[in-house]
Amino acid sequence: RLSASSVAERVAVERGSRLGSVVGYKVRFEEEASEETLLLFCTVGILLKAMQSNPTLDGATHIIVDEVHERDLHTDFLLSLLRVAARERPDLRIILMSATVDPTAFREYFPGAQEVTIPGRTNYPIE
């Protein structure tokens, strides 16, 4: 919840736009978005609710699920719905992100998925 709003705010600042215009967010009981919003940050729950009335996410081009290693019932259910949506809409790009997860299971679950590894560094040693 906090992540969706804070990341949206940061992206809006970096793009030099006002939050709620091109970049927005939607969480339970709070929304900062408009008709011109093209990049919407939201919670898993909000996306699940949107998929009730729009199961193939018509109007969306990309869905990014961050911290996909934080597995719970809602995220697992979302991934199952996204897999169905991807079959119906080959143009829909689904991006699963994690700094720590082994991608093997996700590659098997989403046939044809490609893995992109981005090297990084940590500011503090991990023990």
> Under 8 Å CB-to-CB from 84, ≥6 apart: which residues?
55
> What pLDDT is recorded for position 7?
95
Tell me how far apart the alpha carbons of residues 6 and 10 are, in angstroms, rounded to a whole number. Answer: 6
**73: pLDDT confidence band, cut at 50, 70 and 90?**
very high
Each residue's pLDDT tens digit, 97-119: 988 888 888 999 998 889 888 88
DSSP readout, 55-121? TT-TT-SEEEE-STTS--HHHHHHHHHHHHHHHH-TT-EEEE--SS--THHHHHHSTT---------
Q: What is the pTM of this model?
A: 0.86
**80: pLDDT confidence band, cut at 50, 70 and 90?**
very high
Once rounded to an integer, what is the mean pLDDT over residues 15-35?
A: 96
**23: pLDDT confidence band, cut at 50, 70 and 90?**
very high
